[in-house]
Structures are given as structure tokens and as C-alpha cells.
Structure 1
């Protein structure tokens, strides 16, 4: 069959057929066996600290009709201390890092770092959201803002916090939650400055149990570099209350802004969101503000 009889034109002198413009514009029938597509895909641009290594965990919460585009802040080679947290949360640094995501046409940007988004209080969290929007984000959310949204969604006002950080950073997280009107009634921390990404599930489970109190309505696990995906459901069954992790809340809030639900079988935050959506009720969006 010649190129002409196949509906293609030969490129002069090359002997190779050129696909006609009609095929490119979709004005001729699709041949049998060729699927329509690709399907439309929601995109989420994710700004993470230079040491964040749980990309795969974020993907586990991501449905098949969404894609993640991750970018990292410049490497500082610092341990997880207040100095490091303040560097990675600089709003100008966040803005310039987020600019690398402009060309992927994401529907939402997420700053996936708990400590970086709470270290300067509610005002600092808003500054990071604004920095991502100034870099081209149509919608933007931070991990700490997502945690506040998750607590509001579950109507929770008293929590226990479990962190891998040292005491000063953990205390700053408590202050952030208090500023937002959330009472912290229990806390435990691992005092780690390195290798948070390799903390085993059993150690995190011990941390959560140490933080929990009878007054706590839920447990919040901080740090997007602390693995939690497979731990949430069994922990919730064990302690009988919601467990909200940093990565879970981040993906739930970001996907919500794209009109999608996160994937996490048995996780209470996601199950309640699905139940509300089936009743035609949308989850709340927007960071909580300080209680006057």
C-alpha cells in the first residue's frame, strides 16, 4: 500500500509518510483497536523540602485520574532543626521553587511540609499559600492548612500530636494549632534530626499511643517525611478515634480542590468525606483563622 493510498503523504525526498493534518485534528475516524484518550488528568504540583523522600506515599493517596508533579527546594544539607525549618519555609524560596511547576498546568499546588507551614504561625501559612499563587498556582494549600481543614471537616477541637521532631519544633506546632483554636491535650515526639523517612511503623504506633489521652478527639501525626499510609487504619481501630497524618491531609485537601477524592481504604477522614459527598455535601476548603 502506498503512502497516498493509506491517506498519508510522502515527505519529499525522504520516502517517509507524513501524517496528514486531518488526522492530527481528529477529523477522520479512529482506526479499530485504537483507544480514545488519553483521559483528562487533574494535575497537582507539589513543593517539598529537599530531604523529602516519600514521593511514593503521596502517590498511594492519588486516584488514577490525577497526576503529581513534585519539585524540591534547594539542598541545604541541614539536619531537621529550627534553622532548617525556617530556611525551607521562606516565602520567596517557596515562590521561586513553585515557579518550576508553571508549565505543567496543574490545577492546584501543595506545599507538602508540616513544620515549614506552621513555623511562622497562621500568618506564615497564609504567606506560603500566597507565594504559590503568585508563582502561578490556580489553587494552593499547605500541609498545616490541610490539617486544620481536616480537623474542621471532622468537627474536632481537641487533639494529641505525635511528631518526629525535637521539642522546640513540636512546641511550635502546638502553638500553631492553639492559634487556630485547636486545643492540644497530649503530645509526644521522637527528637529526630535525621532519617525520619526510615522510622518503622511500630515506632510511630508507639509514639501515637504515648501522645494519646482520654481528652483527645483525634491524633495528628506531623511531618510529610514520616511514613504513615499503612498505619492509619489499624491505629484508628486500635485507639478508637481518627488519626490524621500530614501526607494524608495534604493529599485529601489538594485532591478536594481538584474535585477528586483521596484513596485510603478504611481511613476515617476519607470515609467521612466520601459519605458526605454521597449526600451532596462538599468538604470545606480554606485555612482556618485564629479564634478571636
Structure 2
């Protein structure tokens, strides 16, 4: 029997070196939906992805990319880079989502905005934070969360500069260790930021070890998408967050 493809077409804008957003979203994809990806350029693959490079990606002209993704007539378009917008702040993130909606005619969700929405859905106000970013972007991420009424009570940096491919090459075991280092007795949730980090695969293990919900960039986008489109739950959704659907 042929599976239906009638619930929703989901467009995704993804940095061209990202190797993990697509498999993560496919893992979590609700039955009856389809995923359609458009890759974003506008940055140098050989540079360390620092704040300037990521801010440049967020500010890049995506008019062509929106025209391409609009061709599938998506119900929603996801902007799949967290650091590209959090480096600019909440107002920029919200404005980009509005521009994507205007350019695609679809519901628009950003990774950074979804991360905050997921934390709020868990009713958490204090979090432990970790990512594979360079320290400067982590500073901006903590500020981004603070401006959305989320206090970072502990933070774990990766401890070395990772290139554009290095972030995606971290193993789930390394992500688990990073998350555990970000824990704190007063943290109500653990936040793992980056759409190219293999966090989704580690969510269950982290939650079992720490006894706290985990929020990741890719998981948060799927949560917000499913909530907005009223898509049905299924058995491949990682973490306590999806109990809030």
C-alpha cells in the first residue's frame, strides 16, 4: 500500500555544509508529510564559523532560495541555522521569519525562535546551555536567551575551534558529554544549540542520565512545526518536549 503524502510539504533552508539537519528531520518527520531542502551559501567553508561569518549568513540575500523552495508550495518553511539569527538578536530573528513567510507564502519557523518557543513550552526559565560554537557566539546565544526571559545558569563550551564540518562530525557520545557538563542543580532543562550537531540522537540518553528535559535546535523546530500544523504524534519523537504537544 502506498503511503499518503497529503498532510504537509515542509520546506527547509539549510547551510550548504550542514550534514545532520536533513537526517534529523527525516528521523522525526510525521507520517504523511514530505521534506524539501534548499541549501544556503554565502559563507566560506574554510573559515572558522565565528560570529561575523554566521551573522553574514543570517543577513545574506535569500530571495533566490525562497523562490526555489516556494516552488513546492510548502505549508511551512524552516530556517535551519540557529547561530545565523541569534548573532543578530530576537528582533532580527522575528523579522527574518516574517520575510520568509512573505517570500514563500508559508508558515515560517527559525531554529533560534523554535529553541526559545520549546523552552517556554516546557515552562523552563533556567537552563544549562551547550553548543559547538566558538565562545563569542555562545556569549550571544546566552544573551539571546536572556532577552527571551531564559536565564543560563551553566554553560559548556566545546573547548576548541571547530570548522564548518567539525561541528557536524561530533559524535552523539561527545554531545552527551557536552550536555552533562552544562548541567547545574538549578537548571530546569538542557539546551543544545546547533542544527548540525548530532543532538537528536543523544536526547533520550541525556534525559535518562540527568532527569531533565532536553531541547535541541532540530527537535525544537519539529516540535513547533507539529504544534503549528497540528500534525499527529508518532513513535520517533525524541524527548519529553513532545509530551507538550
- The TM-score normalised by the length of structure 2 is 0.91
- Shift in Å at residue 56 of structure 1? 1.1
The change in CA–CA distance for 1:129 and 1:95 in structure 2 (over 3 A counts) is farther
Q: What is the SS of the residue equivalent to 1:226?
A: coil
- 1:72 deviates by 1.2
Choose the corresponding residue for 1:131, options 99, 104, 127: 99
Instruction: Confirm whether residue 101 of structure 1 aligns to residue 83 of structure 2.
Output: no
Normalising by structure 1, we get a TM-score of 0.77
Report which structure shows greater RCO (CA 8 Å, sep ≥6).
2
2:117 aligned residue? 149
Query: Hey, which bits of structure 1, 4+ residues long, moved more than 3 A?
Result: 35-39, 261-266
1:208 to 144, 160, 179: 179
Is the alpha carbon distance of 1:128 and 1:266 closer, same or farther for their aligned partners in structure 2, counting shifts above 3 Å?
closer
The number of residue pairs the alignment matches comes to 238
Q: Indicate the larger mover: 181-190 or 50-59.
A: 50-59
**CA distance in structure 1 between the aligned counterparts of 2:34 and 2:2, rounded to whole angstroms:** 19
> Partner of 2:71: helix, strand, or coil?
helix
Structure 1 residue 50, shift from structure 2 partner: 1.9
**SS of residue matched to 1:230:** helix
Q: 1:133 to 1:145 in 2, by over 3 A?
A: same
Q: Higher helix proportion, which one?
A: 2
Tell me the CA shift for residue 198 of structure 1: 1.2
Structure 2 unaligned regions, length at least 5: none
Gaps of 5+ in 1: 1-34, 274-292
SS at structure 2 position matched to 1:213: coil
For residues 47-77 of structure 1, the C-alpha deviation after alignment (integer angstroms, 9 at most, x for no partner) is: 1112111111111010121111111112532
Counterpart in the other structure of 1:253: 224
Per-residue deviation, 1:262: 5.8
Q: Pick the structure with greater CA Rg.
A: 1
